[in-house]
Amino acid sequence: MLDTTIAGSLPKPCWLAEPEKLWAPWRLEGADLAQGKRDAALVWIKEQEDAGIDIVTEGEQFRDHFVHGFLAHVDGIDWQKKTKMGIRDNRYVVDVPTVTGPLSRKRPVHAEEARFARAHTRRGLKFTLPGPMTICDTIADAHYGRRADMAMAFAELLNAEARELEAEGVDLIQFDEPAFNVFMDDVKAWGIAALHKAIEGLECQTAVHICYGYGIQANLDWKESLGSEWRQYEEIFPALNESRIGQVSLECANSKVPLSLIGLLSKKTVMVGAIDVATEAVESPEQVAATIRAAMDFVDAARISPCTNCGMAPLPRDVAAGKLRALGAGAGLVRKELAGE
Ligand code: ZN
């Protein structure tokens, strides 16, 4: 009951990459880098276990970007051919690589990392992958012609990857789809179909993490423009509720998302974000417990998985560790109440 987990990412230790910076370059090379990533993953697995987190991740210590880490191993992409693209509906304009031919995976991308993590924890193990729609919003298309077709091609590669992760003993595979609350019509038209392709044949648990992003400036500005209540989820939750994805995330800590929208997810496990990743202030266990209790007005505790609002990669390491402990302790408080202790 109230199995705790995190959205996925955790900060890199300072000896591995520059702290408090998204997508910071590695500070090690070659075999030292490979060893450093494993060591960092071990640190975070232990920190999560000690904090009482039930479903742990490797903290995304092996990758520098949640989309490009996967794309680096895909053929059909021309990394030299940069196309200027306004991503997330023009929230940021960046030069992105271009798909110029049929997509195929050169080799398994994360299987070795999953095997390593599995060998070092008996807790539930979650692994995160970028969702097909979000990948398509991070790369230009000069081959498929329709975004939906390119998404299906990526979904096939993700499905092969996900099957391998499951075979390595991963218990829960989560697809990160921050694009889902930007292109709401596309979610219904082909976004969920692409996710279904990505989870085809899996027997492990599955999840989709949708969110309003890290606490970086472009996101803060965008959030300012969304008004006093964020109701984007209202458009897509009914379709997600009918989907075959097992779990759906929702920010509940210091967010403007009305908690009543949880009521639209009556068939799902809800990852209740009880940790605000946009502030360095560490929540108290009581604050976390209060957020979980507020969600329980709309969903039974049996279908709640207390979680972070989003990844914690940009936070200082001690802050992230403190937030892990608050999450574990806060869920513990509510569990005790439910047990009538
Ligand atoms: Zn997120």
Kind of pairing, strands 247-251 and 269-275? Answer: parallel
Single pTM value for the model: 0.96
Place of tokens 């960092």: 40
Dihedral sign (CA 19, 25, 29, 32): positive
- 171, 211 in Cβ contact below 8 A? no
Range 17-21 average pLDDT:
90
Report the separation in Å between the CA atom of 248 and the middle of ligand 1, taken as the mean of its atom positions.
12
Report the separation in Å between the CA atom of 77 and the middle of ligand 1, taken as the mean of its atom positions.
25
- Cα angle: 249, vertex 163, 131; to 5 degrees: 40
Report the separation in Å between the CA atom of 339 and the middle of ligand 1, taken as the mean of its atom positions.
32
Q: Which domains does the chain have, with CATH numbers?
A: 30-338 (3.20.20.210)
Residues 252-306: pLDDT tens digits?
999 889 999 999 999 999 999 999 999 999 999 999 999 999 999 999 999 999 9
pLDDT above 70 covers what percent of the chain? Answer: 99
Query: What is the Cα–Cα distance from 23 to 1, expressed in whole angstroms?
Result: 35
Report the separation in Å between the CA atom of 213 and the middle of ligand 1, taken as the mean of its atom positions.
5
Report the separation in Å between the CA atom of 11 and the middle of ligand 1, taken as the mean of its atom positions.
14
Query: What is the Cα–Cα distance from 259 to 263, expressed in whole angstroms?
Result: 8
Report the separation in Å between the CA atom of 251 and the middle of ligand 1, taken as the mean of its atom positions.
9
Does pLDDT of 147 surpass 90? yes
Q: Report the range of poorest mean pLDDT among 67-76, 88-97, 232-241.
A: 88-97
Range 231-250 average pLDDT:
96
- 299, 265 in Cβ contact below 8 A? yes
Residue 44: its pLDDT value, please?
98
Reduce the DSSP state of residue 246 to 3 states and report it.
coil
Q: What is the mean pLDDT of the chain?
A: 95
Report the separation in Å between the CA atom of 236 and the middle of ligand 1, taken as the mean of its atom positions.
16
- Cα angle: 185, vertex 143, 239; to 5 degrees: 20
For residue 6, count other CB atoms closer than 10 A to its CB. Answer: 30
Report the separation in Å between the CA atom of 340 and the middle of ligand 1, taken as the mean of its atom positions.
34
Higher pLDDT pick, 211 / 327: 327
Reduce the DSSP state of residue 113 to 3 states and report it.
helix
DSSP one-letter code for 14: T
Report the separation in Å between the CA atom of 148 and the middle of ligand 1, taken as the mean of its atom positions.
22
Residue 93 bridge partners (DSSP): 86
Report the separation in Å between the CA atom of 341 and the middle of ligand 1, taken as the mean of its atom positions.
34
